[in-house]
Structure 1
């Protein structure tokens, strides 16, 4: 069994597990009174064990374990630290690996899929995690999910009104991660837009060049016909 084959085999199961985790965790956070706390804990812990096992097997199958460990250090942190439990929802980013195939081989199409899908997912997950972290703190300004969602959108777009901000350690860690993503997102959007504009200009120039070449070819044909006609008339006069 190779690491690549293991990743392909477990891609869909891990994504489905993350979807279940998202549904149960959302239910637990948004409407805690209607879900049996024991059942929710069992499901969440079971999926956590699945994620931990997936990480351990991937590390064991990696050909260069040291390099793989360093490149996937974030997965270990998410699995190991209980306070970062909401970030396990980012396992849903596995779905983007599947969706990008639909976008074809064009790099820009794959970037758009990753950025759009990742942004919507991260905004929702960050809002959910922030509400979970802040709602029980006596000094919290984020007291409902819609405030958390507003804060998440404002933060990821780097607007930063400052009307809502986290007061807990977990909330601040989530805020730092979202701010970093927002800055990176701005760069990706700018680069994608610049790439699109360059392509449009190139297409216009290509069409113009093609039209010019066609016109030159037409002139050559007309000149050749004219020369042939002149030669024919000269021959007749002789």
Structure 2
């Protein structure tokens, strides 16, 4: 029996994650770049489409190898799939890899004595980066699913980017919206992520402003009656 608490990962798994999170984040960007080429260039545009396809599959196989390795190092067996549901979801849908930005940031900070940014700046930087990457990934996915669909209102990648911006900011103009089942599924996921991440940004920014004003009030000399 192990003396470690059930919630504490094995040391080998922790070391593996520290070493691989940043390279895997870079691989995620390569996956996104390859997918973008596949979606945005004509099918007859060779050799770029072939190179992009190789890039997409090779990076996904890298994600699969990492998942299998972490499953083995965790010692959890089949429970790993349930307890690490986000990792499982990201493996099945690699366009969601920006959601792992917290793990990437944690892996980077473990190599330093102290964080370079305060808590509020870290939350805003994480959420902003994640929103940008998710918005770009969702734009690609929706354009891929929608531009040739009957009755579609998203015909160009620019339309898809405009739709993603309106969805993430919860404005919802309605001039561009998905009409297919999978396009609407992507939209629902983007709405949920956008609400959570933008809420984190605005909440952290408000807390930072309150903290700044509080310090200014404390430094101000008391008013005389």
TM-score range, shorter chain: 0.7 to 0.9
Cα 1:127–1:45 change in 2 (3 A) is same
Give the match for residue 45 of structure 2.
34
Contact 1:135 1:143 in 2 (8 A): yes
Q: TM-score, structure 2 length as denominator?
A: 0.79
Q: Is the 8 A contact 2:139 2:164 kept in 1?
A: yes
- For 2:30, the equivalent position in structure 1 comes to 20
Structure 1 residues 105 and 4: alpha-carbon distance in aligned structure 2, compared to 1, 3 A threshold: farther
Deviates more, 1:69-78 or 1:196-205: 69-78
Structure 2: stretches of 5+ with no match in the other structure: 1-10
2:15 corresponds to: 5
TM-score by length of 1: 0.75
SS in structure 2 of the partner of residue 34 of structure 1: coil
1:60 shift after superposition: 1.7
Matching of residue 90 in structure 1 with residue 84 in structure 2: no
In the alignment, the residues of structure 1 paired with residue 197 and residue 178 of structure 2 have an alpha-carbon distance, to the nearest angstrom, of: 22
Q: CA deviation at 1:70?
A: 2.8
Q: Distance in 2 between matches of 1:35 and 1:128?
A: 20
Pair 1:181-2:193 in alignment: yes
Q: 1:147 deviation in Å? A: 0.1
Cα RMSD after superposing both structures: 2.8
8 Å CA contact 2:96–2:134 kept in 1: the answer is no
Greater helix share, 1 or 2? 1
Return the match for 1:171 from 169, 173, 183.
183
SS of 1:2's partner is helix
C-alpha change, 1:135 and 1:98, in structure 2 (3 Å) is: farther
Distance 2:119 2:137 in 1: 26
**Compared with structure 1, are the counterparts of its residues 78 and 170 closer, same or farther at alpha carbon in structure 2 (3 Å cutoff)?**
farther
Based on CA coordinates, which of the two structures has the bigger radius of gyration? 1
The answer to whether the aligner puts 1:162 opposite 2:174 as a matched pair is yes
Change beyond 3 A, Cα 1:46–1:88: farther
SS at match of 2:172: coil
1:137 to 149, 152, 156: 149
Count of paired positions: 206
For CA contacts below 8 A with separation 6 or more, give which structure has more relative contact order.
2
CA distance in 2, matches of 1:27, 1:13: 21
